Amino acid sequence: MRLAKRMDLIKPSPTLAIQAKANALKASGLDIISFGAGEPDFETPDNIKDAAIASIKAGFTKYTAVGGIDELKDAIIDKLKRDHQLDYSRSQIVVSNGAKHSLFNLAHVLFEEGDEVLIPSPYWVSYTDIVYLTGAKPVVIKTYASDGFKLQPSQLEDAITSRTRGIIISYPSNPAGICYTHRELEKLAEVLLRHQVTIISDDIYEKIIYDDNKFYSMASFSEEMKKICIIVNGVSKSYSMTGWRIGYAAGPEDVISAVTKYQSQNTSNPSSISQKAALEALRGPQEGVEARAREFQKRRDVIIKRLNEIPGISCMNPQGAFYVFPNIAAFFGRGFNGKIINNSSDMASYLLEQANVAVIPGADFGHDDHLRLSYATSLEQIEKGTERIREALLKLR
């Protein structure tokens, strides 16, 4: 059947595609270790599961308001106040089916043909394709390992044109785990404010942050900044709730009202049951969030050490999220059994075939010299998987 041309603009999400492939290989009996999709391996906490069960039993199983129930909006408002001293009202909050859905809806109400949307790289795989689907042009600003993969204010200044409508920025970042200091963000904010660039700030990894790094929301810098900022967040990563599909956006009323209208014509409300679960996640005890972040930090320390011990690999220490982004360019041009590895995709295939280890090619994040590994898996798997990678890389001549 003839498909709409816009389908040629995008590819399937590579993170989800590789995870599906790894799962299929596992199901066929192969002993696959997956560093693929970024999904916490922890169970959703019991208090959250219980809230969902209670909501089903209470018959809370019907349509809700399109943009989410008031109690959940209030919990989000309180969270933003508690964490960032930001004041929002219910009309400035919309709850969607995951942060990905919030980002998708926002892009569609904000951007169109002729617009340019800035995306610092390495970027999360879905940002560029979401922008393509709106008809706008993603303008990738390449950041460098020598700058700690941090966007520099001068790069930002150079990338802004009369067509620039927005920027999608995320820290701690997926895939490099980059965090910005308050001072660094202030400098970026100054440029964005001067040019009135709409900021979509994807804060999904806000709570998974290491060492002495702190998360700062640019929306909290000033009233003027708040007016150009839209915060996106969700419960997937902080509360191990990837399957529940609850994300949200907070921002200027006109934008949020447009997202709610748009959502009313695509998905309607996010699942009523998941909304009650998310309400418990945000209102219930928060100690587990910090405990899981500390556990991720332990895993980071092990995976970084193991990878950097492999001759030819260099890997920056991530400051948050649960990914490492090693440089593997030293292996390009080398091969095994007549198969030469020339790029990150060849390397990901080689590791899957030779080592039974699933990783994501860096090219999907805009940096072909790298691989992305998610360490949201057990220490035992990390030890075993990195050993397999070491053995496979030592075979390359």
Residues in touch with ligand PMP (CB under 6 A): 38, 98-100, 124, 170, 174, 202, 204, 234, 236, 242, 247
Cβ nearer to ligand PMP, comparing 177 with 385: 177
List 22, 32, 33, 37, residue binding ligand GLU (CB under 6 A): 37
Q: CB-based contacts of 331: which residues, under 8 Å, 6+ apart?
A: 312, 341, 347, 393, 396
Contacts of ligand GLU in 185-244 (CB under 6 A): none
- Sheet containing 229-234, strands listed edge to edge, beginning at the edge strand earlier in sequence: 93-96, 247-250, 229-234, 198-202, 164-170, 116-121, 137-142
Contact segment (CB under 6 A) with ligand GLU among 11-19, 75-83, 270-278, 302-310 equals 11-19
Counting beta carbons within 10 angstroms of the beta carbon of residue 130, is it exposed (0 to 12), middle (13 to 18) or buried (19 or more)?
buried
Q: What is the smallest separation between the CB atom of 38 and ligand GLU, expressed in angstroms?
A: 3
List 134, 143, 174, 269, residue binding ligand GLU (CB under 6 A): 174
Closest by CA to 379, choosing from 317, 309, 310, 322, is 322
Cβ nearer to ligand PMP, comparing 178 with 228: 178
Q: Which residues, in sequence order, are bridge partners of residue 327? A: 314, 370
Q: Binds 13, which of ligand GLU, ligand PMP, none (CB < 5 to 8 A, cut-off by type)?
A: ligand GLU
Cβ nearer to ligand PMP, comparing 174 with 275: 174
Closest by CA to 18, choosing from 361, 272, 326, 292, is 361
The interface mask with ligand GLU, positions 120-159, x = CB under 6 A, is: ----xxx---------------------------------
Q: What is the smallest separation between the CB atom of 283 and ligand PMP, expressed in angstroms?
A: 19
Contact segment (CB under 6 A) with ligand GLU among 9-17, 182-190, 269-277, 330-338 equals 9-17
200: its two tokens: 């979509």
How far apart, in whole angstroms, are the C-alpha atoms of residue 51 and residue 47? 6
List 38, 138, 166, 326, residue binding ligand GLU (CB under 6 A): 38
How far apart, in whole angstroms, are the C-alpha atoms of residue 217 and residue 301? 26
Q: Binds 34, which of ligand GLU, ligand PMP, none (CB < 5 to 8 A, cut-off by type)?
A: none
Q: What is the smallest separation between the CB atom of 281 and ligand GLU, expressed in angstroms?
A: 18
Q: What is the smallest separation between the CB atom of 40 and ligand PMP, expressed in angstroms?
A: 10
Contact segment (CB under 6 A) with ligand GLU among 32-40, 53-61, 110-118, 258-266 equals 32-40
Q: Binds 16, which of ligand PMP, ligand GLU, none (CB < 5 to 8 A, cut-off by type)?
A: ligand GLU
By CB under 6 A, how many residues form the interface with ligand GLU?
A: 11
Q: What is the smallest separation between the CB atom of 38 and ligand PMP, expressed in angstroms?
A: 5
Determine if 13 is a binding residue for ligand GLU (CB under 6 A): yes
Cβ nearer to ligand GLU, comparing 191 with 373: 373
Q: What is the smallest separation between the CB atom of 324 and ligand GLU, expressed in angstroms?
A: 13
Q: What is the smallest separation between the CB atom of 352 and ligand GLU, expressed in angstroms?
A: 16
Residues that bind ligand GLU (CB under 6 A): 13, 15-16, 37-39, 100, 124-126, 174
